[in-house]
Homo-oligomer: A and B are copies of this chain.
Amino acid sequence: MLTKVKELLIGPPLPTHSILRRQLSNIQALAAFSPGALASIAYANQEIYLGLAVAGSAGLAFTFPMGLAIAGLMLVVALSYYQIIFQYPSGGGSYEVARKNLGEIPGLLAAAALIVDYLVNVAVSLTSGVAALASAFPALWPHRVAVALILLLVITLINLRGMQEAGSVVAAPVYAFLASFFCMLLYGLFRLISSGVQPLPAAAPPAVEPVTLFLILHTFAAGTTALTGVEVISNGVPAFRTPKARNAGKTLIVMAVLMGSLFLGSNGLTQYLGVAAGPQETILSALARHLFGNGVFYYFIQFATLGILTVAANTSFAGFPRLTSILAKDGFLQRQFTSLGDRLVFSNGILLLGGASAGLIVLFAGDTHALIPLFVVVAFLAFTLSQTAMIAHWWRNRSAGWWWKCGINGVGALVTGTTFIIVCISKFAEGAWLSVILIPPLVLFFQRISAHYQVVRRQLSLRGLPPSLKPAPPTRVVIPISGVHRGMIGAVAFAQSISSHVTAVYVELEPGSSERIKKDWTKWWPEIPLAVVPSPFRSMIRPLMKFLNETDEQQNDGQLATVVLPEFIPNHWWESLLHNQTAWLIKAALLYGNRFRNLERVVINVPFHLEG
């Protein structure tokens, strides 16, 4: 039944050989990987507006200059990633680049930053999208967390169905957003030309602070969130059709152009048309309302914004499971993340991402603004690490024209590094501190896992062992019994079929109860000796362990006896709650609890099926 529910939700399993067909065309890939970058203009504009509005009109006069600075930064970073795609087409992105060129720790630092980045991206995109919706329908404002969680559930299910489906579902909102926003920007430009530049609204938020350098840097730090998502394509190269790198590179250029023009266009229009927003409205909603009033087109724009932000959350669902599968393949995460699910997607990564980002949304009560500082810190940490790594890469290879390519990444490293420092300082108290308690523990966690796997690999190696192995001596069997009943027949018969040295043992929980058991036992199995062990504290496990260890040592030169456990298998799972889980407890104690003389004790389950 569980299988049926699963198939209804995510579809029937797909055979492994069909994996080759599941690659994305450039149009699909743009829809799958770019919405994060495109949609970030929504919250970036919002952050710039919130940051500058505290200084009133004087502050808002810096809107477009700020936008130009950020767009310049965007250009540098996009060019840097364009180079990365061709040098590292296997899709590890910042992690792979940093690990190969700077070493393991910087690589893991980048991986940790990316992991947090993907999580926060989901939370930021969804909460920002819901804010766009709630700007149009104020009644939804108190229910933003619930709406965001419902959207998250839908996205998670779509992604569990598989990449290709995700690609088709997300394409529509992305192109609807692009079309409607370009229409709005063109119409805005026409209005600007026809009516000229508007004064900044004096009725807008009153100035509570003067325009200081700190205010400008503080706003810039938050506004650079416009760049988040620009790296996603470089992590997703393997999902493109061949030639993968060329297709990914082309898609990146198209994305960067779209991103820059949308950002600068909307940013400029809000300033020069003199737009201001109320307390429960986003600045982009205010711009759309300013241009179109409360007409159909305004609502269309809001839904398109919600749409692209929802699929922006989806970019994490493309990138995160890939990253965790790469980390797992390299031994830094549980191996389970490498396994393809029924639908040929990394289901474990998708489920982890869905769960963790739901946690973030609840924790931050659905407030985009509160999430931004953490988002920017981890994004620019990853940017800086990968640009720095590329400098090392070019220096090491020094092929023709290397200094020119190195220069691009050098500028990239410089500007992203500087921005990283600005963000850390100016936004530390506002949430950037969270990265300090998230990133280092994650790095330690990766290292711990890696160390464990290495130890295991060494222990599992057969190297150095002689090819002819000593055969095991004939086995000796002990059967713990709870009574003399039909469930014992199979166990005793099996024990006798594999060993000529079989003993039964009864742990006497209730004083005196062994009398009848002994009588019954001798009647049925007179040839098998039955030992009785008292248990004054009514524990099953401890007296049994003591008995096993003592008889092994005293009577059998330390050779461990095999334990045969008769186990009831009820007809329905809930019925097993009606039986003492003694067999299970004994098994756990034998395998896990007790390491007698560092030898391994074999445990045999002989099931006895109950009917009805």
Contacts and interface: CB of A to CB of B under 8 A. Distances in A.
B538 A340 contact: yes
Interface in A312-338: 334-336
Nearest to A485: B460
Interface in A464-506: 465, 467, 469-475, 484-487, 489-490, 492-494, 496-499
B511 A486 contact: no
A610 B14 CA distance: 35
A516 interface: no
A517 to B, nearest CB: 13
B334 A577 contact: yes
B578 A591 contact: no
Nearest to A534: B16
Interface string A572-612: 01010111100000010001100100101111111111111
A493 B469 contact: yes
A176 to B, nearest CB: 36
Interface string A63-90: 0000000000000000000000000000
Given A342-B537, A475-B494, A494-B602, A609 B595 contact: yes
Interface centre among A462, A492, A493, A569 (most CB of B within 10 A): A462
A382 to B, nearest CB: 26
Given A16-B511, A335-B579, A467-B523, A602 B605 contact: yes
B453 A471 contact: no
A462 B486 contact: yes
Contacts of A605: 587, 591, 602-605
A496 B474 CA distance: 10
A567 interface: yes
Given A335-B580, A486-B460, A17 B536 contact: yes
Nearest to A467: B524
A440 interface: no
A606 B612 CA distance: 32
B497 A473 contact: yes
**Interface magnitude class on chain A:** 35 or more
A15 interface: yes
Nearest to A469: B489
Given A16-B536, A511-B16, A578 B494 contact: no
A335 B582 CA distance: 12
B453 A578 contact: yes
A607 B591 CA distance: 7
B334 A578 contact: yes
A95 to B, nearest CB: 20
A472 B607 CA distance: 14
B598 A607 contact: no
Contacts of A575: 452
Interface in A408-462: 449, 452-453, 455-456, 459-462
A429 to B, nearest CB: 32
Nearest to A563: B605
A17 B510 CA distance: 10
A13 interface: yes
A514 to B, nearest CB: 14
B608 A600 contact: yes
A339 interface: yes
B497 A471 contact: yes
Contact of A578 (B449, B511, B523): B449
A228 to B, nearest CB: 31
Given A605-B591, A607-B591, A460 B472 contact: no
Given A455-B612, A598-B609, A600-B609, A580 B16 contact: no
A417 to B, nearest CB: 35
Interface centre among A470, A484, A562 (most CB of B within 10 A): A562
B475 A460 contact: no
Nearest to A495: B472
Contacts of A579: 335
A472 B486 contact: no
Given A473-B497, A536-B15, A611 B459 contact: yes
B497 A472 contact: yes
Contacts of A335: 578-580
Contacts of A473: 497
A499 B494 CA distance: 12
A461 B475 contact: no
Interface in A500-547: 510-511, 523-524, 536-539
A189 to B, nearest CB: 53
Given A15-B537, A490-B600, 10 more contacts: A13-B539, A334-B577, A342-B538, A452-B570, A455-B610, A469-B524, A472-B490, A475-B497, A602-B604, A603-B604
13 contacts: A15-B537, A335-B578, A335-B580, A336-B580, A452-B575, A455-B612, A460-B485, A460-B487, A467-B523, A472-B490, A498-B498, A569-B591, A600-B606
Interface of A: 13-17, 334-336, 339-340, 342, 449, 452-453, 455-456, 459-462, 465, 467, 469-475, 484-487, 489-490, 492-494, 496-499, 510-511, 523-524, 536-539, 562, 567-570, 573, 575, 577-580, 587, 591-592, 595, 598, 600-612
